[in-house]
Amino acid sequence: MSRFETRRDAKLKRLAACRPFVAASLCEVDRRCGHPNCKCARGQPHKAHVLTRKVNGKTQTVHVPKDLVEEVRAWVNEYKRIKRLIREVSDAGLAVLRHHGRASRAADANRKRTRR
């Protein structure tokens, strides 16, 4: 097994240890509750969190309850980590192919030299 395959396999093992994730962005937004005597009616809006994601070119938004914000933030970060790992595994696979091609050409060149 080449060093490139070893690197790829190590990254695959890291990918297998994934936790819950969500492919979306966590955003903090300003909201008004609609009560005429509330502070938000005087220009101090409430803070809320939402998840946004694109589906068929349209943005979908899902409200995130206050008690789940930190957990959902961890899910979003886990998705980013997984996405980065997938890219690294893909790059490692390409490195294996490139190395194999170089090694094959070198072996062919050595065989041609020894035949002469």
The residues spanned by each domain of the chain are 3-115
Cα 89 to Cα 12, 20, 23, 73, 82, distances in angstroms? 7, 20, 19, 24, 10
Tokens 């068929």 -> residue: 56
pLDDT of residue 53: 96
> For the CA atoms of 85, 90, 94, 97, what is the dihedral angle to 10 degrees?
110
Mean pLDDT by runs of 10 across the 116 residues of the chain is 78 81 95 88 92 96 96 96 92 86 63 63
What is the Cα Rg of the chain in Å? 25
